[in-house]
Amino acid sequence: MRIESPEFLKDAAAKYNSVTPPPVEILVSMGTCGIAAGTGNVLKAIYDEISAKHLENSFGVREVGCMGLCYAEPVIMTIDHSTGKQTIYGKVTREQIPAILSGRAGETSECYVIPRNWYYPEFETPAEGEIQARIVLRNTGRMNPEKIEQYIANGGYSALGKAVTTMTPQEVIDTISASGLRGRGGGGFPTGRKWQFAADQKSDEKFIICNADEGDPGAFMDRAVLEGDPHSVLEAMAIGGYAIGAHTGVIYIRAEYPLAVKRLEIAIRQAEELGLLGKNIMGSGFDFNIQIKFGAGAFVCGEETALIHSIEGHRGEPTVKPPFPAVQGLWKKPSVVNNVETYACIAAIIRKGAEWFRTIGTEGAPGTKVFALAGKVAKVGLVEVPMGTTLRQIIYDIGAGIKNNRQFKAVQTGGPSGGCITKANLDLPIDYEALKAIGSMMGSGGMIVMDEDNCMVDIAKFFLEFTLDESCGKCTPCRIGNRRMYEMLEEITDGRGTVATLEKLKILSRTIKDTALCGLGQTSPNPVLSTMANFEDEYLAHVKEGRCPAGACSKLIHFQITDRCVGCGICLRNCPANCITGERRARHVIDQDKCVKCGACFNACKFHAVERV
Amino acid sequence: MGCNCQKTPTEQDVKKIAELDQYIDSLLAGTSDERRSGFLIQILHRAQSLFGFLSEETQKHVSEKLRIPVAEIYGVISFYSYFTDKPVGRYKINVCTGTACFVKGAAKVLEEFKRNLGIQEGETTGDGRFFLGGLRCVGACSLAPVVMVNDRVYGNVTAEKVAEILAECKE
C-alpha cells in the first residue's frame, strides 16, 4: 500500500481506528530501563498465561515505549475497553500475572497499583488542576513504536500531509515562529528563526539534522521519545525539510542507544513502504529521505558544529561560529540542527496551530518541557510539564519528595554545563531565563536531586572530571584550565585546600568562561561557580576545618566502632577490605590503615554502633 | 596475552575481513569521493564488533578501502571513547559514570571492582578475562548505580554485590 494523499491518510487512520480492540488491552513498557528491570520476563509470562488459559479472545498485548514511571519498572497497564477503566501496575513480577489477568489483582495486596494522578498520558493540553501535559510524550508509552498503523491511527503524519499539500514552506516557518517554540536541547534558540536562516540560503542541497546525541549524564528523555515514538521525529524532520528546502535528513544518534537505533530503522522502513518518506510524499511532489549516523562516545558531539564534523567522519571538534550551520553546515551546505524533543513538538504545532501552543507554558517559552527526574528523589521518572512549573511541583508533587525521608539539599539541572539549585528557589517558575538567572540552565532536561549525604564540592569535582574526560583538547582554556580547576578541587576534598584556593578557583572559572572556544568549555565552570555561590559554608568547612559536612569526602572522614557494639559480627562479614577484627560478643575494631572507607559497616550495623566522623 | 599482531591471518579472520569488505562496498555504492569519510565511523563500529578491537592491520585495511590516510583514521579512533585499538577482556565490565549513578555511590562500586580485580580503569586482567572501564550514562537512571557486563545491565549495584557479579562471569 502507498498513501498517496492526505485524504488517503485520513481513510487509513479511520480504517485502523475502526478495528474492534480486544476486550482488555495490556500495555507493557518495553523501554531500555524496563527491559533491564525485567519486563521481558513479565511479557513472556503474560503470553504464557494467555495461551495456557486460552484467553486469546479476551486479551490483546501491546508492547509500548517508556511510560515514564521508571522507578516502578516493570510497569504494565490494562485498559478495559468495555468500561474504559485503566489500571497501571508497577514492580510487576511473573507470579502476579494470573491475578492481574483475572481481574483479582486489586484485591490482593501484593500488586502495586499506581494511582492515576501520577500519570496523564492522553492530555496534550493540561487538564484542569493537573501539573502534567503531554505533547512531546503524547504517544510514548501508549503506542507500539514498531507499528506505524498505531501512529497513523493517532493522527500521525497528518501534519506532514497538511504542510506539504496546503501550506507553503514560508507558512510552515511562520507557524513555527509564531508558536514561539525554542530549542529543547538546552540553548533555547527560537526554532522558527533557525529554519528561516536556512530557508533564506540559496543552495542546490540542504540538510535537516536531528541531534540525538543525548550526552548529558542523567538525561534520558530523547531516548524515551526515540524508543517510544520514533515516527514523531521522522514526521517533523520531513516537515522541516519541506520548510527549508532540504531533501535529506540525517539523525545523529549515540552508540549507547542500540534499542532506539533499532526502532528508528524499523520506523524509517515502514514510512518508506507507505510512501510517507521517499519520493513525491502524499502526491505533493516533495521528496524526503532520512539516514541514520552513529556517534561513538564523545559528549562534545552534542555541539552542532562538532556533530557535523562527526557525521562527516572526522574527530568531533567544534569550530568557531559564524559561519553557522544554517549557512554552512554538513558538507558545507546549509543545515538545520534540532534536538529530538524539539522535533517531537513540531507535528502537534502544525496540527493544532501556533495559538494553541502559546496557551501552554510561559510568555517567553511556550509549550512543555520533559524532565528526567533522577537521583535521590522517591519516584525516578520522566515527567512532562508546561514551562513555568515550579521545581517544588516537579520534585514533591510528581516525584513524591526525597527518598528515605532524608532532607532535600539541591537539584542539579543542565548537566555538566548547569548548576545546583537550592531550597530557596524551589518555588521559582522555571523556564530558560529563570534558570539562567539563578546560575543554572535548562540544558536538555536532566534533573538530579541530591540530599544531605551528597557533598557539593564532591559534586562539582564530579562534573569537572566529566568535562576533563570529554574536552576535545582543541582550545587551551578548556584543556588545561579545567585540569587545573580539577586539581584545586581535589586539594579541597583531600583537606589540603586553603581559602586562597577558593579565590584562585573563582578567578580561573571566570577566565575559562570568557575564553573557551565552544559551549562545552564556556559552561564547564558553572557547576563550580554555582555550588560556591550556594554552598559557600560547605567549601569553607573543607578548607578551614578540614571537615566534610556531608561525610562524603573519604580523605576527610573515618569510621569507628563505639561501645554500642554488641559483637554480632555483621560489620566484619560485610567489610570488603577485611579490616574489622573482634571476638564474638565483644566490641569490634576497624584497622584505620586498611579501611577503604566504603561505609559498608556503617550501612550494615543494626545497632548504630558504627560512627562516621 | 602477549602480542596479537599475527602475521598470517586465520581462516576465521579471512572470513571476517570478507564480511567487512562486503559491508563497506554496500555502503560506498554511489557515494562521491569527498563524502566517503561520512561512512568511516559506521565502518569502524562494524569492524570493532567483528574483531573485538581495531588493530593496526584493521586500520590499514579500512584506510585502503576508503582511501583515507591511516593517520586520520587513528585520529578518529583515539578521539571517540567507544573505539579501542587494544584487545580487551572477554567480560567488559563498565561502571556507569553518569550523575545519577554518581550521586547514588557508583564511585564506591568502581573502587570495589578495582580492588577485587587488582586492575585500574581501562585495564584488562592478566588472564584476559575481565576488562574494567567507565561508561557514559546509559539512561537507565532509575536503576542507579548501573553496571554493564557486556550487554547485560545490572541495576542497584552496591559494593557488596560486586563479588556476586564477578562470580556470574563464568567461562
Residue A464 near residue A524 (C-beta atoms within 8 A): yes
CATH of B91-168, one of 3.30.43.10, 3.90.1150.110, 3.40.30.10, 3.40.1160.10: 3.40.30.10
Chain B 24-53, residues with CB within 8 Å of chain A CB atoms: 34-42, 44-45
Tell me which chain B residue has its CA closest to the CA of residue A464: B99
Residue B170: pLDDT over 60: yes
Size of the A and B interface in Cβ pairs below 8 Å: 154
Compare CB distances from B139 to A223, A296, A310 and report the shortest one's residue. A223
3-state secondary structure of A62: strand
Per-residue confidence (pLDDT) for residue B122, from 0 to 100? 87
The alpha carbon of B90 is separated from its chain's Cα centroid by a whole number of angstroms, namely 11
Chain B 152-171, residues with CB within 8 Å of chain A CB atoms: 153, 155, 159-160, 162
- Segment among A289-293, A302-306, A421-425, A595-599 with least mean pLDDT: A595-599
In terms of Cβ atoms closer than 10 Å to its own Cβ (0-12, 13-18, 19+), residue B171 is exposed
In degrees rounded to 5, what are phi and psi of residue A135? -105, -55
A-chain residues near B42 (CB < 8 A): 293-294
Residue A540: pLDDT over 80: yes
In degrees rounded to 5, what are phi and psi of residue A420? -100, 135
Q: Do A217 and B44 touch (CB under 8 A)?
A: no
Q: Do A380 and B141 touch (CB under 8 A)?
A: yes
Closest listed residue to residue B47, CA positions, set B7, B78, B85, B10 = B85
Closest listed residue to residue A502, CA positions, set A459, A479, A547, A532 = A532
CATH architecture for the domain at A368-451: Roll (3.10)
- A397 C-beta neighbours (distance < 10 Å), count: 17
In terms of Cβ atoms closer than 10 Å to its own Cβ (0-12, 13-18, 19+), residue B52 is middle
Per-residue confidence (pLDDT) for residue A255, from 0 to 100? 84
Q: Do A217 and B100 touch (CB under 8 A)?
A: yes
Tell me which chain B residue has its CA closest to the CA of residue A227: B139
A306 touches chain B (CB under 8 A): no
Closest listed residue to residue A122, CA positions, set A142, A101, A100, A150 = A142
Q: Do A33 and B76 touch (CB under 8 A)?
A: no
Please enumerate in sequence order all residues whose Cβ is within 8 A of that of A375, keeping only pairs 6 or more positions apart, or say none. A218, A411, A412, A447, A448, A449, A450, B99, B100, B103, B104, B141, B144
Q: Do B141 and A374 touch (CB under 8 A)?
A: yes
Residue B51: pLDDT over 50: yes
Q: Do A315 and B75 touch (CB under 8 A)?
A: yes
Compare CB distances from B153 to A36, A70, A446 and report the shortest one's residue. A36
B150 touches chain A (CB under 8 A): no
pLDDT in tens, A366-425: 999 999 999 999 998 999 999 999 999 999 999 999 988 899 999 999 888 899 999 999
B69 touches chain A (CB under 8 A): no
Tell me which chain A residue has its CA closest to the CA of residue B46: A294
B113 touches chain A (CB under 8 A): no
Q: What is the CATH number of domain A21-115?
A: 3.40.30.10
How close is the nearest chain A Cα to the Cα of B33, in Å? 12
For A454-481, give one letter per residue: b (16+ CB within 10 A) or e.
Answer: bbbbbbbbbbbbbbeebbbebbebbeeb
Strand partners, A28: A63, A76
Q: Do B142 and A472 touch (CB under 8 A)?
A: no
Q: pLDDT class for B1, splitting at 50, 70, 90?
A: very low
Residue B2: pLDDT over 50: no
Averaged pLDDT score across all residues of chain A: 92
Closest listed residue to residue A349, CA positions, set A171, A559, A86 = A171
Helix axes A340-352, A230-244, angle to 10 degrees: 70
DSSP summary character for residue B93: E
CA distance A247 to A423: 49
Domain ranges of chain B: 11-79, 91-168
- Segment among B5-9, B51-55, B78-82, B101-105 with least mean pLDDT: B5-9
Omega before residue A323 within 30° of 0, cis: yes
CATH of A456-545, one of 1.10.10.10, 3.50.50.60, 3.40.50.300, 1.20.1440.230: 1.20.1440.230
- The listed range with the strongest mean pLDDT (A122-126, A131-135, A172-176, A321-325) is A172-176
Per-residue confidence (pLDDT) for residue A118, from 0 to 100? 64
B-chain residues near A316 (CB < 8 A): 79-80
Residue A287 near residue A245 (C-beta atoms within 8 A): no
Q: Do A217 and B137 touch (CB under 8 A)?
A: yes
In degrees rounded to 5, what are phi and psi of residue A531? -70, -35
Residue A57's identity, in one-letter code, is N
Q: Do A217 and B136 touch (CB under 8 A)?
A: yes
Residue B37 near residue A314 (C-beta atoms within 8 A): yes
What is the helix (H) or strand (E) element at residue A419, kind and residue range? strand A419-422
How close is the nearest chain A Cα to the Cα of B146, in Å? 10
B-chain residues near A294 (CB < 8 A): 41-42, 45
How close is the nearest chain B Cα to the Cα of A269, in Å? 17
pLDDT in tens, A443-480: 889 999 999 989 999 999 999 999 998 898 889 999 99
In degrees rounded to 5, what are phi and psi of residue B111? -55, -45
3-state secondary structure of A507: helix
pLDDT in tens, B5-36: 555 778 888 999 999 999 999 999 888 988 99
Tell me which chain A residue has its CA closest to the CA of residue B40: A313
Mean predicted confidence (pLDDT) in B91-114: 89
CATH classification of A558-612 is 3.30.1540.10, yes or no? Answer: no
Per-residue confidence (pLDDT) for residue A122, from 0 to 100? 65
pLDDT in tens, A84-140: 888 899 999 999 999 898 877 665 567 788 876 666 666 667 777 788 889 999 999
Compare CB distances from A598 to B44, B76, B108 and report the shortest one's residue. B108
Q: Do B139 and A316 touch (CB under 8 A)?
A: no
Please enumerate in sequence order all residues whose Cβ is within 8 A of that of A498, keeping only pairs 6 or more positions apart, or say none. A543
Among A448, A454, A465, A579, most B C-beta atoms within 10 A, so best to mutate, is: A448
A-chain residues near B104 (CB < 8 A): 375-376
Q: Do A296 and B80 touch (CB under 8 A)?
A: yes
In terms of Cβ atoms closer than 10 Å to its own Cβ (0-12, 13-18, 19+), residue A104 is exposed
pLDDT in tens, A177-219: 999 999 998 789 999 999 999 999 999 999 999 999 988 888 8
A564 touches chain B (CB under 8 A): no
In terms of Cβ atoms closer than 10 Å to its own Cβ (0-12, 13-18, 19+), residue A334 is buried
B83 touches chain A (CB under 8 A): yes
Per-residue confidence (pLDDT) for residue A229, from 0 to 100? 97
Per-residue confidence (pLDDT) for residue A120, from 0 to 100? 62
Residue A287 near residue A293 (C-beta atoms within 8 A): no
Q: Do A448 and B139 touch (CB under 8 A)?
A: no
Q: Do B108 and A331 touch (CB under 8 A)?
A: no
Q: Do A448 and B100 touch (CB under 8 A)?
A: yes
B148 touches chain A (CB under 8 A): no
Cell digits of residue A136: 512531546
Q: pLDDT class for A576, splitting at 50, 70, 90?
A: confident
CATH architecture for the domain at A148-357: 3-Layer(aba) Sandwich (3.40)
- The position carrying cell 561512512 is B39
Q: Do B37 and A314 touch (CB under 8 A)?
A: yes
How close is the nearest chain B Cα to the Cα of A150, in Å? 26
Residue B123 near residue B138 (C-beta atoms within 8 A): no
pTM score, whole prediction: 0.90
CA distance A194 to A325: 10
Residue A555's identity, in one-letter code, is K
In terms of Cβ atoms closer than 10 Å to its own Cβ (0-12, 13-18, 19+), residue A404 is exposed
Q: Do B103 and A70 touch (CB under 8 A)?
A: no
How close is the nearest chain B Cα to the Cα of A72, in Å? 9
CA distance A460 to A491: 13
Mean predicted confidence (pLDDT) in A51-64: 94
Residue A294 near residue A255 (C-beta atoms within 8 A): yes
Mean predicted confidence (pLDDT) in A512-540: 93
Omega before residue A126 within 30° of 0, cis: no
Per-residue confidence (pLDDT) for residue A604, from 0 to 100? 87
In degrees rounded to 5, what are phi and psi of residue A585? 65, 15
Please enumerate in sequence order all residues whose Cβ is within 8 A of that of B2, keeping only pairs 6 or more positions apart, or say none. none
Q: Do B141 and A257 touch (CB under 8 A)?
A: no
Domain ranges of chain A: 21-115, 148-357, 368-451, 456-545, 558-612
Residue A171 near residue A160 (C-beta atoms within 8 A): no
The CA-atom distances, in angstroms, between A395 and each of A255, A308, A436, A450, A538 are: 31, 36, 19, 11, 24
